[in-house]
Structure 1
Amino acid sequence: MPSFASKTYQWQGLSCAYRLSYQEGQKPIVFIHPVGVGLSGQFWDRCVNHWHSQGQSYSFYIPDLLGCGQSALPHYAYYPEDWAAQLHFFITSEICQPVILVVQGALFPVAMELVHLDPQGIQAMILSGPPAGSLVSENTDPTWQKVRWNLFDSPLGWGFYLYARQESFLRQFSINQLFAKPEDVDDEWLKMLAAGCADLESRHAVYSFLSGFWRRDYREKMQQTEQSVLVVMGDQASSISRDGGAESPEERLQFYTKTFPNAEGVVIPGRNVLPYESTPAFVEACQGFLRAQGL
């Protein structure tokens, strides 16, 4: 297992946390974790541990986004641009060289904002189970996004978060929406979520995600992306949003590989949290892609 060092840096007067497994002279990989009840950079631990066990030499950087994990938990409405700006500062001030991005799920818009902000800072991208094409192909009315935020940022949202922190809810949601096999929703997963949502101030990042600030048309930015992109889709991939529509994993994969000018895709066993539920297959796909790119 890699030896992680825990570090912090200051951005806009806020403390931001990350963990680092550094290999002298090796290319850096930055892992962008999903946002949800109890989720943080620890989402990637199983993946990074397995990757390291395969003898592949990289420097692994696992940041906690603001509002999550060990980073500051300010009462903000977080937009993709906010997290992208945080990560851009992190890369330019802490890593100081171009990176490979590995991005989970609906944090795809954060990666797109980051690549658009600093194209030279990103060497390649790996997308794990990105959102349904319909969710990133049209703009959502900002007024309704703010209405949702105001509903969540109220006693109603407080009650919802208290309910959503219960193990019974986390287990059932994971079975219904995230994992292909119910038995893969293990104690390690549930304990990670429980620890991640112990501080109620973590609710604001979740409210921001549920408000849909990330839902907009990203096709133009995708078409302008010059980096090589790997899209990894689960063979049982589904959309958490009701607006995601009924599409097969192959159809979703086709949307991304056709919209990006330089993308390839692969379907592996699993559903929506591939780095956790299908770790060996996910790491193998990533390693094969990076070898082919000479990275």
Structure 2
Amino acid sequence: MMQTEEFTVTTTERLDKLVAEQVDNISRSQAKSAIEAGQITVNGAAAKPKDKPKPGDTVHIELPDPEPLDLEPENIPLDVVYEDDDVLVVNKPQGMVVHPAPGHPNHTLVNALLYHSPLSSINGTLRPGIVHRIDKDTSGLLMVAKNDHAHQSLSAQLQAKTNLREYVAIVHGNFKEEEGVIRAPLGRSPKDRKKQAVVADGRPAVTHFRVLERYGNYTLIACRLETGRTHQIRVHMAYINHPVAGDPLYGPKKTLKGDGQFLHARELGFKQPTTGEQLDFTAPVPDNFARMVRHLRQQAGLPVDKAI
């Protein structure tokens, strides 16, 4: 079997870069290899990675279907905050991918969860139990369904916007306001398919924010999600010119040094699927986040050791 795709060139760029920007789940190095293997052509003719097709040219791609991922349980330590017969709440570390995907076939949170517990089957074989996700380099709380009944209940709560999902973030700049709401629709960026962006025809996205501390060039904020779009907080903050510090995708090159964005899912609340009891959880920020806050407080002349 082959997967095929075709697009019309609109900008003058190297072919390998164009393909990586236009086609999901293909890196530039993968595009280069596919071009060299003759799997990517321009106007029906073979090409080189460095070639620059002209606007109006047609790029045709024929790639063999990827090998199916073999999802194996793995004995990876988990920070389980809560567990009952229906749900798990885990505190995901920064740097861990939630579920297998091209480039991340194993060592994910799902691999660890499969070793720990039975999971719901609603999302199929690659995302069992996963009701919502957080980015690889975002840390914090995630709810996981252990059976299909729980999965349906938790998904319905997300749709009804009755869950509590609050994050803390260090962002660039100093807010003029104490709190606010960002209402800006999100969709795939027309300029870079690896990114999300505020686009007129995007899906509705709403983020509530409030200032916790000011450090001059940086601000510590809390963000509550009303919707849960891909990269929502990161894109919304960049949209209002306060990108998340350390964000390699949406932030500036000159930023705080860390292992990715300083963004942590601190609070999570939902109703237990069987009993209806309200469950609320809090997870402290990871050590690297706490050290950065202490550093910024020290620079700003604020008390260093109070709770975040």
* Alignment TM class, shorter chain as reference: under 0.3
Provide the TM-score with structure 1 as the length reference: 0.26
The structure that has the greater radius of gyration is 2
Q: Answer 1 or 2: which has greater strand percent.
A: 2
* More contact order relative to length (CA 8 Å, sep ≥ 6): 1
Q: Answer 1 or 2: which has greater helix percent.
A: 1
